[in-house]
């Protein structure tokens, strides 16, 4: 039994599993998740720290 998963879904899984740690204050968000926005072949992940308000941003390019 195999389930097809798109590269995007695999990426999201990877980010969902990663620890959300604010680089500004060290706050570790165990409940939250990345806010995901896509534009073309780029996927941008954003996380707003509820403690200090800093915004973490990661950008990933999807391989063609």
Q: Can residue 60 be called a binding residue for Zn ion (CB under 5 A)? A: no
| β strands within the chain, DSSP E | 20-21, 28-29, 35-39, 42-48, 55-61
Q: Can residue 54 be called a binding residue for Zn ion (CB under 5 A)? A: yes
How many whole angstroms separate alpha carbon 49 and alpha carbon 64? 32
Which of the stretches 3-11, 22-30, 38-46, 55-63 binds Zn ion when contact is defined by CB under 5 A? 22-30
For 38, the token pair is 């896509």
State which residue, 52 or 62, has the beta carbon closest to Zn ion. 52
Among 28, 52, 55, 62, binds Zn ion (CB under 5 A): 52
């Amino acid at each position: 039994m195999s389930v097809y998963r798109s590269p995007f879904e695999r990426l999201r899984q990877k980010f969902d599993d990663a620890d959300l740690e604010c680089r500004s204050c060290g706050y570790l968000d165990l409940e939250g998740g990345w806010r995901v926005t896509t534009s073309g072949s780029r996927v941008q992940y954003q996380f707003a720290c509820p403690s200090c308000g800093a915004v973490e941003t990661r950008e990933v390019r999807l391989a063609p």
